[in-house]
Amino acid sequence: MRSQPTNAGRTEPTTASPDSSEPAGSAAGPAAGSAAESATGPARTAAAQAGPGNGDTTVFVQLVVMMLLEFAVFGSWFATVGLVLATNGLPTVIGTAFSLAAVAAIVSPMLLGALGDRFMASQKTLGLAHLLGGAVMLFLPAAVQAGSGNLVLGLVFVYMLFFQPTLGLTNAIAFRHLGANQRRFPYVRVFGTVGWVVAGALVGWMGLSSSVGLFYVTAVFSFALGLYSFTLPATPPPAKGVRFSPGDLVGAKAFRLMRHRNYAVLMVCALLTSVSLGVYNTYASAYLGALGFSNVAGTLSLGQASEVAFIVTIPFVLKHVGMKWALFAGMCMWAVRFALFAQAADGGHWTAITAIVLQGICQDFFLVLAAMYIGQAAPVELTAQAQSMLILVVSGFGQFIGAFASGKIYDATVGAQAHSTPADWTAIWALPIGSAFLAALVWAVLFRHPRKQEPAVLEA
């Protein structure tokens, strides 16, 4: 079978794409319009100049440090910010703060992704976002200590406007420089989890888990990554020089990928699955407290430990199971996880611990594999926007729906009881179980991709 070159060192057979009805070769070949530009124009040249990639050890180490710092920034404050607010007399703004974080993920990733694809080198966009975010963090301690809830919410929202897009940008930078070695991505991404754990341990060791001092730690990590980003391999905007349209400011071209069935199915299933993620982030810690766990933070950290263990198995699983069924397993495990939470209401602490440890499969075989699929399937000139779309769907719409809907159920069940019991939580867990089950069903029926074939590069 004859193959032709595609972006980022990939090759694509000239047979028809398995997820569309387009003629042979149309997914990446020299078609009319923007596809022609991406195949032969400035975008292709930019991709070729993106850096060494292809397994170069120095670049690999640079990407590892980038990912470690990215999640050190996130993990240093996000896990215990609710405790900080409650300790400093602002418990009533906790739910709103998390909702605003989700709204920021809806508003900003596509815009910053468009900047990274067209106007500014991705590593510079990443650096600028973290420098500005670090500056915002410096104002949060005084706002919290002053008890100004509205100011705190405003600062959190502005900070997340800068931070949320960087989750997609780091993925895009990693995929650009890994080149043909896309399956090395899990070995880069695992250091993100390590960074989260290290940052959380550092904050705990410093005694800042409930102190406004943790915002200063986050600012330091942000400034460190902001400056470090400018030392990363050059990642020029792949769509620079291509005709501009106002829609590029909001990443509109990435939405055009939704006409490809596999990509559309991935986004729908990501939305449904991330509803479960939103419920877990919002209420897992409170439920463990209701079960009688004394060291909730330590127990939840078992989930991060399992992520490290499972993420390194991804290349093996992809080789023997394939992308479709590996992602299917990740979606199914979200339903299993909350079923175990429901069972734990009968006093089974080990059942709850098992549910937490399943995080490795739930997260790695969902978020990491979804990012890998996009890294292989998205045209190089839309890489940052496509990764940003995943963040928008997961951290934005999905988590917002999960947090909001579960909050309503909580208020009507657990919150309505003067003396609630773990059994009262069952209604809450029905939401993520149903959402994850529906995602797995849609995925199994509608996503079509041969097990041993790499994802075809989609037409822009």
Answer for the pair 118, 239: CB distance below 8 angstroms, yes or no. yes
Q: What is residue 455's three-state secondary structure?
A: coil
Per the CB < 8 A criterion, the answer to whether 263 and 458 are in contact is: yes
Distances in Å between the Cα of 66 and the Cα atoms of 5, 20, 123, 179 are 29, 36, 10, 17
Angle at 264 between CA 253 and CA 455, to 5 degrees: 90
Distance between CA atoms of 96 and 347, rounded to whole angstroms? 32
Torsion sign (Cα): 327, 171, 388, 4: negative
Cα gap 273→401, rounded to integer Å: 11
Taking the C-alpha atoms of residue 421 and residue 432, their distance in angstroms, rounded to an integer, is 20
Work out the number of other CB atoms within 10 angstroms of the CB of residue 61. 11
Count of H-run helices and E-run strands, the chain: 22, 2
Taking only the tens of pLDDT, the chain with its 460 residues reads 433 333 433 433 333 333 333 333 333 332 333 333 333 333 433 443 444 444 478 899 999 999 999 999 998 888 778 778 877 888 777 777 878 888 888 877 666 656 655 667 889 989 999 999 999 999 999 999 999 999 999 999 999 999 988 988 898 899 888 877 777 888 898 899 889 888 887 887 888 878 899 999 999 999 999 999 999 998 887 656 666 565 555 556 778 889 999 999 999 999 999 999 988 887 787 788 888 887 676 677 788 889 888 988 998 998 889 899 999 999 999 999 999 999 999 877 899 999 999 999 998 899 889 988 998 888 887 887 788 788 888 988 998 898 888 888 888 888 788 788 889 999 999 999 999 999 999 999 999 877 666 666 777 6
What phi-psi label fits residue 40: left (phi over 0), alpha (psi between -120 and 50 degrees) or beta? alpha
Q: What sign does the CA torsion over 149, 108, 456, 438 have? A: positive
Alpha-carbon gap, residue 230 to 122, rounded angstroms: 10
Which residue type does 42 have?
Answer: P
Burial of residue 205 (number of CB atoms within 10 Å: 0-12, 13-18, 19+): exposed
Report how far Cα 126 is from the mean position of its chain's Cα atoms. 15
